[in-house]
Structure 1
Amino acid sequence: MGRDKVMNWQMKHFAARQQGVEGLIEGEHSDYGNLTSRQCGNFVKIALERANQLT
């Protein structure tokens, strides 16, 4: 399964907004390589919290 199939772009942007780093993943030349390991780990934490709220 590809990375994009695990977390859709809306969830990625939601998680980025929650952390205040959405500007780092937007734009033609921006990508997730601009984030720290901690910020990427927080994406998982936010996604799990959101999934638990929806269930």
Structure 2
Amino acid sequence: MSRRRSRVMNEKFKEELAKDLGFYETVESKGWKGIRAEDAGNMVKRAVEMAKQGLVEGQYKK
């Protein structure tokens, strides 16, 4: 059985989170694979916090 991956966060939203968390320069130079696991975890935590607070509603639509 194959696993489907869904894109929960679009690129614009991920870029804004990376800027807010201070590692966007790494994303620009090395891509998303260049970030540390800790940074990825912090990005997810921040996205969840924002979703709980209702801050994401419609701001980052494709």
Give me the TM-score of the superposition, normalised by structure 1.
Answer: 0.73
Considering Cα pairs closer than 8 Å and 6+ residues apart, tell me whether 1 or 2 has the greater RCO: 2
List, as ranges, runs of 4+ consecutive aligned residues in structure 1 with deviation greater than 3 Å.
Answer: none
Structural mapping, 1:3-22, within 5 Å: 5-22=7-24
Which structure features the higher share of helix residues?
Answer: 1
Root-mean-square deviation over aligned CA pairs: 1.9
Structural mapping, 1:23-42, within 5 Å: 23-26=25-28, 30-42=30-42
Question: Who is 2:5 aligned against?
Answer: 2
Gaps of 5+ in 1: none
How many positions carry a matched residue from both structures? 52
Determine whether 1:51 maps to 2:46.
no
Gaps of 5+ in 2: 56-62
Higher radius of gyration, 1 or 2: 2
Shift of 1:26: 2.2
Give me the TM-score of the superposition, normalised by structure 2.
Answer: 0.67
